[in-house]
Structures are given as structure tokens and as C-alpha cells.
Amino acid sequence: MALANLANIATENERWEEALPLVERRLTVCRQTMDAAPEVAEAKIQVVDAMLQIFKVHRGLKRLQDSRPLLAEALPIAERLVSDQPASFAAAHLLARVLHSVAELEKAVGAWEASMAALDRQFALLEPWRSHAAQKQNVERQLGLARVMADWVQKKLDAVANDTARVAD
């Protein structure tokens, strides 16, 4: 717990170089916990959360590509949590965060279609939760962030389509 708190403090204060070894160590500890108790959902949640924290640090360090393997690992873990606990907003919210990170990574490398696909999945995942009063604020925040990114990505897709059409003419 102390390691997670130190990692959070460094990350929230944007001390990226200091945060990276802390969040990497946090992930190692979380993985060990998950390996010792693979049936415990909270252990899986902590692993994925640590991976997302590393993604945030990589973003701060301008090294998003370094997160690709982590996100590839986090996605099926989060998907399994949702599959195992379809009535859990915590699981759905975690998967939504992973999908948003995937979309951000793909956007950063110019993979507009892949970014939009991840955002579409995020929208579909969160939409059923809009009617749950207890989760409405969290859902609306996530959907708002996703809409902003989707609008930006759609503009890029439109620009690519227009450029392709001009070249074809």
C-alpha cells in the first residue's frame, strides 16, 4: 500500500522520472499478488490499474509506445473481469479506462481507425451504465472524454479521406 501511495504522489505531481520505477515496482508486486490468488478479482483490478498508471507516466515522458505491451496485456484481463462480473461498474469502468488508453495510444501513432474502434467499444460499454444514478457522474465524465477524442480522430479520418480523394482525382 505504501508503494502505491508513493507511486500515486509522484505521478500526480508529474514527477515522471521518479514515478516510473515506483509504478513499475507496484506492477511487479500486484502481479505477484495476482499470481498467488488468480481467482481474486481485486488482484486483477490492481494489476490493470498499475498498468494504466504506467501508461500515464509513459504519456508524461512522451513514451506512449512503451505502453503498447502493457495495454495488450491489460485489455484481456479487464475484458475477463467484465465477463465474470457483468453487473460490476468497477469492472466496466476499468475496461473503459483501458479502451480509452488504447485509443489514445493509437491516436498518437496515427492509427485513426484503431483509435476509433477502441472509442466505439468504450461508448458501447459505458452506455448501459448511464441510467444508473450512482454511476452517472463517472459515466458522463468518461463518455465526455471519449467524445472529445472521437471528434478529434474523426476529423483526422475525414482529412485522410479528403486527401485520398484529391489524389485519386
Are residues 41 and 13 part of one domain?
yes
Q: Per the structure, how many domains does the chain have? A: 2
- In this structure, are 108 and 64 located in the same domain? no
100 plus 166 within the same structural domain:
yes
Q: Are residues 3 and 45 in the same domain?
A: yes
Tell me the backbone φ, ψ of residue 61, rounded to 5 degrees. -85, 0
More confident residue, 136 or 17: 17
Q: Identity (one letter) of the amino acid at 151?
A: D
Q: pLDDT digits over 73-104, tens only?
A: 999 999 999 999 988 888 999 999 999 999 99
Residue partners of 60: CB distance under 8 A and separation at least 6? 11, 14, 16, 19
Domain residues for 161?
88-169
End residue of a domain, out of 84, 106, 134: 84
Tell me, what's the pLDDT at 133?
64
For residues 158-163, average pLDDT: 82
Taking only the tens place, the pLDDT of each residue in 43-81 is 999 999 999 999 999 999 999 999 999 999 999 999 999
Task: Clarify whether residues 94 and 79 are in a common domain.
Answer: no
Q: How big is the CA angle at 160 (ends 155 and 164), to the nearest 5 degrees? A: 145
113 and 70 within one domain: no
Same domain for 108 and 31, yes or no, is: no
Note whether 53 and 12 are same-domain residues.
yes
Q: What percent of the chain has pLDDT above 90?
A: 59
pTM, rounded to two decimals: 0.86
